[in-house]
Amino acid sequence: MKSLSLAFQVYLAFIKKSFQRRMQYRVANLVGLTTNFFFLLVHIFVYTAFYAARTVPQPLSLNEIITYFVLCQVSFMLMPLWGTRSEVTSAIKDGSVALQLTKPVDFQAYWFADECGRACYYLLMRGFPTFLISILFFEVTIPQQPTVLVAFTVSMMLAIFMSNAITITIFSSGFWTLDTTGIPGMSYSIITLFSGMLVPIALWPEWLAHIARWLPFEGLIDIPFSIYLGKITGIEVWIAIGKQMGWNLFFIGLGRFLLTRGFSRLVIQGG
């Protein structure tokens, strides 16, 4: 028990230091904030025009759509899939993973801790500011029931966790291909589409939405946001969160397996 709490302290320290490290780049952050807004505006204008032209009622109202994309801009930076990636991600590519392995730490846990610190930083420095400014300019829906907020927070945390687990899995392919552009690049396109990041899954044609529901990636964006918007309610919330948990376990296990296998055949790049 004592050793468990000591181990926890180590990774907690990693989270803290990871956070501190990002704090050194606060100016760059302001520039990033502007970029977030630019993309938010593009999304909002496109959907406003789109909604003005449609007469048939849509599954999501314009306000809900705007809220969805505000949440997108708030949260995508917290996920290593889309946000700026930490150096751990490039560790396999440039061989610095070797240095990590000379320390008595679990690599996957270190990676998670580092990403958690990163997520905290971006939540504070990017997520909250983006949200607050958005409230001033747009009609952003805010859930009235505290239970919805609780469910959303849990679901969002699971989404961030899963994005880490998926990233590790994808980058573990680097042990085999020694290349971190091909497979990751292709995976990003697929994941970005099926997470609902570009178009909420509710607006998809039936057959494609059906595919998305069977894939894990809706758990990154669509599930937490749908909970926030009250599109998933009651028992469905539990099922959705259960799904996220299941996929989390799956990817953590797969990532762990690939990392272990990968290390045993590690070729350190650059000798």
Partner 1 sequence: MIEVDNLSKTFKVYHHRKGFFGSFANLFSRKHRIVQAVDSISFTVERGEIVGYLGPNGAGKSTTIKMLTGILVPTSGSVTVNGYIPHRQRKENAKHIGVVFGQRSHLWFDLPVRESFELLQRIYRIPEVQYRYNVEMFDELLSIGDFFQTPVRQLSLGQRMRADIAAALLHDPDVLFLDEPTIGLDVVAKARIRQFIQKINAERQVTVVLTTHDLDDVEKLCKRVILIDNARLRFDGELATLRRLLSTERILSVDYAEAYPDVSIPSAHIVYQEGARVQYRFSPEEVSTADLIGAILQKFKIVDISVQEPDIEELIKTVYEDNLTLERKLTEPISPNTQAN
Q: Give residues in contact with partner 1 (CB under 8 A).
A: 6, 9-10, 13-14, 17, 20-21, 24-25, 87, 96, 98-99, 101-106, 173, 176-179, 181-183, 185-186, 263-268, 271
Residue among 54 and 103 whose Cβ is closer to partner 1: 103
- H-state helical runs in the chain: 2-23, 26-53, 62-75, 87-94, 97-101, 107-122, 128-137, 146-172, 174-177, 182-195, 206-214, 222-228, 235-264
Q: In 10 A of CB 177, how many CB atoms?
A: 11
Shortest Å, Cβ 215 to partner 1? 19
Give the C-alpha distances (Å, rounded to integers) separating 7 from 1, 2, 162, 253: 10, 9, 22, 20
Shortest Å, Cβ 98 to partner 1? 5
Q: If you search the block for the tokens 């799956």, which residue do you land on?
A: 250
Phi, psi of 109, rounded to the nearest 5 degrees: -65, -40
d(CA 165, CA 75): 17
Residue among 102 and 144 whose Cβ is closer to partner 1: 102
Shortest Å, Cβ 49 to partner 1? 33
Residue among 17 and 213 whose Cβ is closer to partner 1: 17
Shortest Å, Cβ 50 to partner 1? 31
Shortest Å, Cβ 192 to partner 1? 16
Residue among 6 and 52 whose Cβ is closer to partner 1: 6
Residue among 42 and 186 whose Cβ is closer to partner 1: 186
First to last CA, the chain: 40
